């Protein structure tokens, strides 16, 4: 196995990516836990003859779910939205502006 230097740029990048993936998993778990709890509470409050299958009960999970999907795309498909190596290009651009 390769000796790992914690100052290595590749190590820092891999560590940053692992943290992003972990945060995505935590965010997704919270999304499911909170929405299941809210749907359960809404189900308990239903009057006889009402149904849970209404847009008002699922609007929060739908819109929050769109946010989860967007966050997942930024974690697992970083080049999808801003292109490959966008961060590096932007850093170089800002550094060049700073010089002048």
Per-residue tens of pLDDT for the chain, all 100 residues: 466 676 778 888 888 889 999 999 999 999 999 999 999 998 888 888 888 788 888 899 999 999 999 999 988 887 766 666 777 788 888 888 887 7
C-alpha–C-alpha distance, residues 68 and 71, integer Å: 5
Taking CA atoms, 15 is separated from 22, 29, 56, 91, in Å, by: 11, 21, 40, 20
- According to DSSP, residue 47 is labeled P
C-alpha–C-alpha distance, residues 5 and 52, integer Å: 54
Whether 28 contacts 68, CB under 8 Å? yes
Single pTM value for the model: 0.69
């Amino acid at each position: 196995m390769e000796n790992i230097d914690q100052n290595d740029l590749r190590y820092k990048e891999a560590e940053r990516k692992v943290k992003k993936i972990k945060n995505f998993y935590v965010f997704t778990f919270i999304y499911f836990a909170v929405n299941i709890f809210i749907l359960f509470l809404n189900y308990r409050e239903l009057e006889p003859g009402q149904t849970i299958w209404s847009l008002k009960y699922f609007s929060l999970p739908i819109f929050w779910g769109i946010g989860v999907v967007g966050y997942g795309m930024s974690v697992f498909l970083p080049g999808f939205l801003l292109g490959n190596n966008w961060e590096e290009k932007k850093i170089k651009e800002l550094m060049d502006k700073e010089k002048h």
